[in-house]
Amino acid sequence: MNILFEILNEQHYITDDTFSFEFSRDSKSVNYEVTPFISLDYPMQAVLVVCIDNSELGNVSNNEFLKKLAVAFRKQDFHQPDMDKNTTLIIKSLRDDKEIVNLSAKVQIEDNPYYFKKYVFSYSKVEEKHAIDFVIEKKKSDSESELVSSIIQKYLFSTDMFTKYKNNTDDAATYKYFSELSIKIPFLPLEVTSSSEMLTVDQILLKSKKYDEAKVEKINAFLDLNFDFKEDDVEAIISAWENN
């Protein structure tokens, strides 16, 4: 199972034939395979997925790599001119289990304003295996027809799962994978569940306004009592305010 591909399919993106391009790094030519996805709902929207090891990110965080990819993309039969401004590049960046993520290169790639909207999804083999096993098990125990994106959403919104992750991030491989996926993949739908404690901005402002109006009314009513704060009993004044 490829969780990313499953999510794209659920969002009505279909896979086209893979293509490849060459890029020279460290004085040798390396071949990169790209898996394209085209939106059924909006045919001018495309997603390109390419796998690059974490250790390689520093070598490809430049315009030359992106330019080579863009040129190869434009040569494909499915390519249309309007796709150029509506294409997202997702880099699946595999790292060793104890390897530190190359954050500097990730930021460089994602902030690069040229060639595509770009997202770098970092993960380890252990994290991916745990995530895939979890999804497969949930489909077996609950429903085969349940969307992968729905399974991920329920997992991330689980208070118990978040608490476990917060208490020991080293052991929370599945949570790491899903949370990184939700941050880096713009097509993963995460809907906030409704709650009686959650208010819209308008509701908050209205509630605040009503509170302020009530407070002003209370003050005005208290002043209408015409207390003489120099002469009248303090306890009587306090009692009048509290009971007003």
Residue-level pLDDT at 63: 82
Four-point Cα dihedral 197, 199, 204, 210, nearest 10:
-60
Q: Cα–Cα distance between 29 and 31 in angstroms, integer?
A: 7
217: pLDDT confidence band, cut at 50, 70 and 90? Answer: low
Residue-level pLDDT at 194: 47
Pairing of strands 13-15, 117-124: unpaired
Lowest-confidence segment of 91-100, 195-204, 221-230 by average pLDDT:
195-204
Q: Cα–Cα distance between 76 and 79 in angstroms, integer?
A: 5
Residue-level pLDDT at 39: 93
Q: For a pLDDT cut of 70, what percent of the chain falls above it?
A: 76
196: pLDDT confidence band, cut at 50, 70 and 90? Answer: very low
| Mean pLDDT of the region 148-175 | 79
Q: For a pLDDT cut of 90, what percent of the chain falls above it?
A: 36
Residue-level pLDDT at 192: 52
**pLDDT at position 35 over 60:** yes
**pLDDT at position 199 over 60:** no
pLDDT tens, residue by residue, 139-161: 888 777 788 988 998 888 887 77
| Mean pLDDT of the region 179-188 | 82
Residue-level pLDDT at 195: 45
pLDDT tens, residue by residue, 38-71: 999 999 999 999 999 999 888 787 788 999 999 9
